[in-house]
Structure 1
Amino acid sequence: MKSNHDKGSVVFDHVIKNYGDVTVINDVSFRVEPGNLVTLLGPSGCGKTTTLRMIAGLEHASAGRILIGGKDVTQLPATDRDVSMVFQSYALFPHMSVVQNVAYGLVASGVNKQEAHAKSEDALALVGLHGYGERLPSELSGGQQQRVAVARALVLEPEVLLLDEPLSNLDAKLRRQVREEIRELQQKLGLTAVYVTHDQEEAMAVSDRIIVMNKSIIAQEGSPKTLYEEPNSSFIADFIGDANLVDVEILDRANDRVNVDIAGLQKYLPAREFSLGPAKLAIRPDAIQLTASAGNQVGITGNIRHATYLGNQMQYDVECELGSLFVVDYQFKQGLIAGSDVQINFADRGLVLVKAN
């Protein structure tokens, strides 16, 4: 018996997926809570799309269990799972009108055309496309076509909505707009959604939780804030937002903080699980403070190799004792140019000790 606690949930229980001798999903377990939007994030080939396709029933697990709404669906075909998928390519029928595209799944499942048409018009209104039903897909913009694809998935009233790289065919500005629309709609309807992307910013913007995958396993999962501020490895630190990974020395420990030597500068940081001795430090680009060298300033001496103006920020590549540092400055306190000598200091946040792997 499934409980209301399970309704809309998705559970992977020690799932393995093999293609011949190749393991593409290796003993993966997680739970998506009802009403949450959880993103599967990771580099190409990490297993995130295969995981999504296994939820949909388009791929089948070699071992382990998959549950949707508390029901074991591991061996069920896609047609017997209460899920709908929004594809990267939209997959709209070019010869059908917009409303016919949205109604297609309903009609195919036996709903009469009049009822299917009415429900499809309601779904189009939900995604902001009221009055667009009689147009052809070719008469819509890319963002509007993506919303039609979302409406087609929503009209089936699925227990779980699956989105496979839904914004990858849109330009950057439109991606921001449509991802906000998808997130707002998901929260408004209380949908359980599993979202796949390789775009870290997109994942941070839409997710309640992020599951980061790497090399067929889960590298870390948590809220966007947790993954950014408490990465459990150098891979996560570098993948979730840029990070400069440098060698440091932990000098001493006092309760839950450690004194870290960063090329002669000392900072007290959260100890986490680290002990005294060599360690890796992840430094966010905007945690690095640069000032023009003058007098007897405290800091690490560096030299700007490249300076790039990007409108709302300056980006610098700085050579110093720590190696090459990537720096982002949103303040524009002073104009630093390539070739300038600078003193490097660090903010109180944006520095975190990480495992080297």
Structure 2
Amino acid sequence: MITRPTSNSDGNRAGAVVFEHVRKNFGTFTAIPDLSLTIEPGTLVTLLGPSGCGKTTTLRMLAGLEHPTSGRILIGGKDVTMLPANERDVSMVFQSYALFPHMSVLENVAYGLESSGLKAREARKKAEEGLAQVGLAGYGDRLPAELSGGQQQRVAVARALVLEPQVLLLDEPLSNLDARLRRRVRTEIRELQQRLGFTAVYVTHDQEEALAVSDRIIVMVEGRIEQEGPPRDLYEMPTSAFIADFMGEANVVACEVLKIEGRDALIRVGRLDHRVPARDAVAGPAKLAVRPNAIKLGLADDAAFAGRIKHAAYLGDHVEYEVETDIGTLFVVDPATERCFEPAARVGIGFENRGIALINA
């Protein structure tokens, strides 16, 4: 069943997005072999993955800049598979912002409205309202060059939003900003999306960015979906070694599932027994993803198995260690900066209750 477009309290429509068995070939190369997904109206969904995974191709097909080789794409229940970009009810925020440097901020925001046939006075009024929505009221007379990178990004978002699209597309929108500004602007984009309730499809290669802004993350590898779900699920319950390592660093080690007890599995790692969510595990050999901050270090006689510090680095609010053990070298992030183990020191190793997950081998 396809969800029809909805309207929120601000009058903006939010449409569902559906890909049905979409395939995309470029000559003899298959970029997207068979993609099926649904994006619910009013949600922000991030397409995430390494370079060449197909996320940008997927976004471009949704925007109408590329057409599928086969399959269907629907927006708000309407089949748009072969429609050109200007006939789709979407707006796009580009990585480069694509602002006209010779136009004022207000003229940039009003441009799309006037091009669609709106009278100049009405277009100007809606553009002023759009700037106010993104916190730039009073900036209309400035040129883009007179704004900071974050402000230019908000102008690009305002220009897209004033067209009241069913879906807003954002292609690596923060890649041109420095780290501190990225954190602030991603928060602003997320707050704006939640307040206005529009559907957004966001493309990035930055895992932290995806975790911070998304209702749902779709991780793509070689044109297929490797795993999808809420940010917490992907981080805390990865289904593969790739996801465990891609969504933040992880130590992937061998373990043995001793038995299943309800929703828990009793596992053994080295000589340490521990309980973790069972998921679909069965008794026998398995793989375990352990986050660096889920490993506890103590004196050598405080834990079931021991290790030796290979490398230590003090980084202000935490210490990073490489620890040699019988199950391999472990990367550890320890917040206990009041004490620091020196290289060659013997340590005891334990696990926290969170940050550990059984994964498919």
- In structure 2, the residue corresponding to 1:58 is in which secondary structure? coil
- Report what 2:10 is aligned to: none
What is the rounded CA distance, in whole Å, between the counterparts of 1:342 and 1:127 in structure 2? 52
What is the CA–CA distance in structure 2 between the aligned matches of 1:220 and 1:13, rounded to whole Å?
Answer: 17
State whether residues 167 and 198 of structure 2, in contact with CA within 8 Å, keep that contact through their aligned partners in structure 1: yes
Q: SS at the partner of 2:128?
A: helix
Check if 1:93 corresponds to 2:134: no
Matched, 1:45 2:36: no
List per-residue Cα deviations over 1:258-293 (Å, max 9, x = no partner): 221101111122222222222110001110001143
SS at match of 1:163: strand
TM-score between both structures, scaled by the size of structure 2: 0.94
Q: 1:343 aligns to what? A: 348
Is 1:220 the counterpart of 2:227? The answer is yes
In the alignment, structure 1 residue 304 sits paired with structure 2 residue 299: no
Matches within 5 A, 1:312-351: 312-351=317-356
Q: State the secondary structure of the residue aligned to 2:170.
A: strand
Deviation at 1:335, TM superposition (A): 2.0
Unaligned runs of 5+ in 1: none
Q: Contact between 1:39 and 1:211, CA under 8 Å: does it hold in 2?
A: yes
Partner of 2:250: 243
Offset at 1:326?
1.1
1:6-41 Cα distance to aligned partner (Å, 9 max, x none): 761000011111101111112111111110001111
Q: Check conservation: 2:288, 2:358, Cα contact below 8 A.
A: yes
Instruction: Kindly indicate whether residue 127 of structure 2 is the aligned counterpart of residue 127 of structure 1.
Output: no
Counterpart AA for 1:78: A
Q: How does 1:283-294 map to 2 (within 5 A)?
A: 283-293=290-300
Q: Distance in 2 between matches of 1:270 and 1:182?
A: 34
Deviation for aligned residue 1:343 = 1.2
Contact 1:292/1:336 (CA < 8 Å) preserved in 2?
A: no
The residue aligned with 1:81 is 88
| Aligned equivalents of 2:269, 2:67: Cα separation in 1 | 49
- Structure 1 counterpart of 2:65: 58
CA distance in 1, matches of 2:70, 2:155: 36
Q: Is the 8 A contact 1:41 1:213 kept in 2?
A: yes
The answer on whether the counterparts of 2:2 and 2:16 sit within 8 Å (CA) in structure 1 is no
Q: State the Cα distance separating 1:315 from its structure 2 match.
A: 1.5
Contact kept in structure 2, 1:292 and 1:340, CA below 8 Å: no
From 258, 261, 264, give the equivalent of 2:265. Answer: 258
Structure 1's 85 and 5: CA in aligned 2 closer, same or farther, altered over 3 A? Answer: closer
Match status 1:170 vs 2:177: yes
Inter-CA distance 2–216: structure 2 relative to 1 (3 Å threshold): closer
Q: Is the 8 A contact 1:37 1:192 kept in 2?
A: yes
Q: Which runs of 4+ in 1 moved over 3 A?
A: 1-7
Shift of 1:5: 6.3
Instruction: Identify unmatched segments of 5+ residues in structure 2.
Output: 7-13
Q: Secondary structure at the match of 1:272?
A: coil
The one-letter code of the counterpart of 1:122 is E
Give the superposition deviation at 1:116: 1.3
Instruction: Tell me, yes or no, if the aligned pair for 2:324 and 2:330 is still in contact at 8 Å.
Output: yes
Task: Report how far residue 114 of structure 1 moved.
Answer: 1.9
Name the amino acid aligned to 2:227.
Answer: Q
CA distance in 1, matches of 2:213, 2:3: 27
Q: Alignment length, in residue pairs?
A: 354
Q: Give TM-score scaled by structure 1 length.
A: 0.95
Distance in structure 1 (CA, Å) of the matches to 2:304 and 2:295: 11
Alpha-carbon RMSD: 1.6
Which secondary structure does the structure 2 equivalent of 1:18 belong to?
A: strand
Q: Which residue of 1 aligns with 2:11?
A: none
- Rounded to whole Å, the distance in 2 between the matches of 1:89 and 1:340 is 50
Distance in structure 2 (CA, Å) of the matches to 1:348 and 1:96: 56
TM-superposed deviation, 1:333: 5.0
Q: 1:234 aligns with which of 237, 241, 245?
A: 241
